[in-house]
A and B are shown apart, each in its own frame.
Chain A
Amino acid sequence: MLKSKIRASAFLFNRLAMQSSFLFLLILLFLGFSQKSQAQEKSLTPENDKCLKCHTHQTFTFQNTLTKKEDKRMSNPLYILDKNHFAAGVHAKFKCTDCHSSAYSTYPHNAELKLEPLSTCLDCHGGDEKYAAYQFEKIEKEFQKSVHFQKSGESFTCSKCHNQHYYQAKSRTSSVVGEIIGFSNEMCMTCHSNNSKFQLLSDTLKPALSQIHGWLPNQELHFKNVRCIECHTQVVDSLSVSHNILPKEKALKNCVECHSKNSMLVASLYKYKNLQSRSEGGKLNTIIANKSYVIGAYQNFWLNNFSIFIFIMALAGICIHVILRIIKK
């Protein structure tokens, strides 16, 4: 009897201990999360708080002047912002009204505001000396030749690929090629792997990517290590990133363009000269760590010369032996 009591109380104690440790973990996790999101939100301008109160949520409320009641409506899912992504983006410090009409500061918004043309990227980025190095005007010219512009015209804006709310300058800031590739390909995949997004600009279904690229060996590896634009754009030396997206018939299908000593990847993906300086480990480390092995493109000076040396030595040894065999016959 006593034993079973002891056993029962021990069981109860264990359970309590487990529950309390579980609770403790939960508290820790909650604290961790809340600290993280607080830190991220701190980078946002407080003036945006009012806007984000509605525009980061699935629903919004307003005073219905017709029914005289407070109404709750669903937000357009395409316009719901992610606060964390916004805080990580290049425009995190901007006020909403820097790009959107200042008249939006009154709520409920005037419905006619929707008819006002939106600011475009070049309104700020064009003709500004600060951004001269990025050659936005040239990018625009290149883009106008692209299949995106040819098919969709003005409705294909910069923001279709470069989400103005979340955009990060990964190509310019990241020292890891893999991250640059992932970020770049995500821009294409947002529409090209999602029918509902794809059909915002096209009447057809999105093409089946893995089927179209069936000819490509190690497809998964290529998709992970090569940017889509490597084969689907015309490389322009003077631009960091080519914006002339070619029609599918003109996409590169020639393996040796990348798989050779003068690999096209060196001219495009690895052209970021500052990529090396960004790496903490210096030149050698960058090249080894960043360059996933590309057959044919990797030519190590020392290994090549060492192998040629051994090859010549072997042939020389054989030649001498042959001569001796002929002489001593």
Chain B
Amino acid sequence: MISENKIYFYPIWLRIWHGINAMGILILIVTGINMQFSNPKFGLVNFELAVNLHNISGILVTINYLLFFFGNILTSNKRYYRLKRKGLFKRLQLQVDYYTSGMFKNQQPPFPLSEKRKFNPMQKVSYLTVMYLFVPGLVITGLALLFPETIIENVYSVSGIFLTAILHASLGFLVSIFLIIHLYVASIGKNPLNNFKSIINGYHDIHGH
């Protein structure tokens, strides 16, 4: 489905899924920071409200994650996430070189996106890490904290809840860092807003990166 160099890249189901994830994770980050650094004198959101919003968004993002996880097993969408190990480091190097110097010399991207290749190697690695390591880690620790009675009380005399909470907060922090970089890299397109428009209307400009 090509028209004027544009590919219909993001079908409606994907955009809805991405939208729910984006909203959910943003709420989780804001309410998470609010709880971690809560203060009786100052708070973006009231603590009780933050806890409730965090729980609701957490469950929503978990359901959304299950759609992603099983969707990627059952549909052909998984092909975009397949990573060939051979020469991976070299391919990553090429992409890093492009972002750090090539793009400033008006060079062509080393892995131009097409209907067959939706993600460049850097995207693949980061999306795989976030979606198959960080997010499931957050879902598991988050659900455990939602039902704290399920957590092992003491792990070698260290509180199990303490360990789970530290892991949850650390992974949450890493996802926030991913989000900042994800949003910034998204601005590297034909123009800074091009990719943001794509994820809303579904059409990707193949001259973008």
Interface residues of A (CB under 8 A from B): 217-218, 220-221, 254-257, 259-262, 281, 285, 288-289, 291-293, 295-296, 298, 300, 303, 307, 310-311, 314-315, 318, 321, 324-325, 328
Besides A255-B38, A255-B47, A307-B173, 4 more A-B contacts (Cβ < 8 Å) are A255-B48, A295-B35, A300-B166, A310-B177
A289 touches B159 (CB 8 A): yes
Which residue on chain B has the smallest CB distance to residue A307? B173
Asked if residues B161 and A314 are in contact (CB atoms below 8 Å), the reply is no
Q: How far is the CA of A285 from the CA of B164 in the complex (A)?
A: 17
Do B161 and A292 have beta carbons less than 8 Å apart? yes
| B180 contact set on A, CB distance < 8 A | 314-315, 318
Contacts of B170 in A (CB 8 A): 303
Whether B35 and A296, one on each chain, are in contact in the complex, defined by CB atoms closer than 8 angstroms, is: yes
Q: Are A259 and B159 in contact, CB atoms less than 8 angstroms apart? A: no
A264 to B137, CA, bound (A): 31
Q: B-side interface residues toward A, CB under 8 Å?
A: 35-40, 43, 47-48, 51, 99, 103-105, 148-149, 154, 157-159, 161-162, 164-166, 170, 173, 177, 180-181, 184, 188
Provide the bound-state CA to CA distance between A289 and B153, in Å: 10
Find out whether the CB atom of B148 lies under 8 angstroms from the CB atom of A221: yes
B181 engages A318 (CB within 8 Å): yes
Tell me if B157 and A256 are in contact (CB < 8 A): no
* Given contact pairs A315-B180, A321-B184, A289 touches B39 in the complex (Cβ within 8 A): no
Cα distance, A325 to B192, chains bound together (Å):
11
Known: A318-B184, A324-B104. A291 touches B39 (CB 8 A): no
Residue pair A298, B162 in contact (C-beta under 8 Å): yes
Kindly list chain A residues whose C-beta atoms are within 8 Å of the C-beta of B159.
Answer: 288-289, 291-293
A310–B180 alpha-carbon span in the complex (Å) = 12
Cβ-closest chain B residue relative to A253: B48
Number of A-B contacts (CB under 8 A): 79
Complex: A259 Cα to B37 Cα, angstroms? 9
B148–A295 contact, CB under 8 A? no
Contact residue among B40, B51, B105, B188 (Cβ-Cβ distance under 8 Å from A254): B40
A221-B149, A293-B162, A298-B162 known; A314 vs B177 contact (CB < 8 Å): yes
20 A-B pairs with C-beta separation under 8 A? A220-B149, A255-B47, A256-B40, A260-B39, A261-B39, A262-B40, A288-B157, A289-B154, A289-B158, A289-B159, A292-B159, A293-B164, A295-B165, A296-B35, A296-B47, A298-B162, A303-B170, A318-B184, A321-B184, A325-B103
| Distance A218 CA – B149 CA, assembled complex (angstroms) | 9
Do B37 and A256 have beta carbons less than 8 Å apart? Answer: no
Report Cα–Cα, A249/B51, bound state, in Å: 24
List B contacts of A281 (CB < 8 A). Answer: 157
Which chain A residues border B188 with CB–CB below 8 Å? 325
Nearest B residue to A317 by beta-carbon distance? Answer: B181
- Evaluate contact between A296 and B36: CB separation under 8 angstroms: yes
A257 lies within 8 A of B181 (CB): no
Q: Of all chain B residues, which has the CB nearest A300?
A: B166
A residues in contact with B36, CB < 8 Å:
295-296
B187 to chain A, nearest CB (A): 9
Q: What is the minimal beta-carbon distance from B110 to any residue of chain A, in angstroms?
A: 18
Name B149's closest neighbour in chain A (CB-CB).
Answer: A220
Q: Once the chains are docked, how many angstroms separate the CA of A311 from the CA of B178?
A: 10
Alpha-carbon distance A289/B163, docked complex (angstroms) = 11
B157 close to A289 (CB less than 8 A): yes
